Amino acid sequence: MPKLNKLTASLSLLTSGHTLVLAGALTLGLTSHQATAASGAEIDIIELARYANIDSVLLDRAITQATYQQKIIDAMNRPYEGKPWYMYRKLFITDKRIKGGIDFYLAHEQELLRAQQELGVAPEVICAIIGVETFYGQNMGTWKVLDALYTLGFHYPKRASYFSKEFANYVKLATREGWELTSVKGSYAGAMGMGQFMPSSYLNFAIDFDGDQHVNLFTNSTDAVGSVANYFKGHGWVLGGGVMYPAHVAGVPQGTLDALMKKEWNLTPAELVAAGVTTKVNLSRDQNVRLYSFELEDGSYDYQVGLNNFNTITKYNKSPLYARAVYELSEAIAQGYAQIKQQSGATGKNP
């Protein structure tokens, strides 16, 4: 599907009162397939510019520079998070990724420990996020962020509201940073840098952690570490708090378990205990929790109770599979790091 060219964009703006109406693409001379692909997406450029606090001319110009990418739509329709847990886990909990996380921790120990002290986020969790997202900065994505956000914001109706706003945020961010709109590469969803920040997160949570007066999440690991920590701080991470615990559900009827899982974050520890669900630790009663089930390779299910910090990880990516992978990777990184530090202490050598 070709991009909206300048004539198409201008006609759309003139005929709809500065509203980009993709559902009416057929009237602008596009094929019926193109109109169907964009059906239901109606974006008011003026409102979008007002939301991002930028000039609508900038948005119009960005639209004319963007190119529709069908492969991005295809990727959105088959996400990793659609896999069962036992398959998803194998993608991220590997010896190579654990070793990479330990190496990253050791190489950036100073800034990671400073992030823990100043922002209250565990170093291993920061490492795990960067490890899951980009393999410690090695795979930050090959899609033009402009194309990704344009495609999803204007040609993917079920997420158009979110991604069109991120498109506007990207234009604002690129203007602020002096980026060429088509030069920045990221994921097929438009996420950028070592920690794969969406434009709104880049604007709101990315920080200059090394004091060089620039915020660079692409090649500056110090800024990336501080920014991931700042994101977690802003979403309620509690240093030293639990993340998730195995739930013992023997004897609890399946219907009861299903009802508990539907309560999402309105579930209390007292309700779990009353239903016969227990954990290896006593959960404090002044919190809400959530019960999850994860499919295992033998067809059975592993039940886990997620706490506040688990909820915080889902603010980064809403999938519980993602959150559990980050948590398990962080635990493995922390264990490996501690072993190396212990060995280096015993030998008197620097790791």
Q: What are phi and psi of 267, to 5 degrees?
A: -90, 140
Do 283 and 307 meet the contact criterion of CB atoms below 8 Å apart? yes
133 classed as catalytic: yes
Spatial CA neighbour of 93 closest among 350, 326, 338:
326
Instruction: Collect all residues with Cβ–Cβ distance below 8 Å to 72 and sequence separation of at least 6.
Output: 143, 147, 148, 151, 152, 188, 189
Q: Among the options 42, 133, 264, 297, which is catalytic?
A: 133
Q: How far apart are CA 331 and CA 70, in angstroms?
A: 38
Residues labelled catalytic: 133
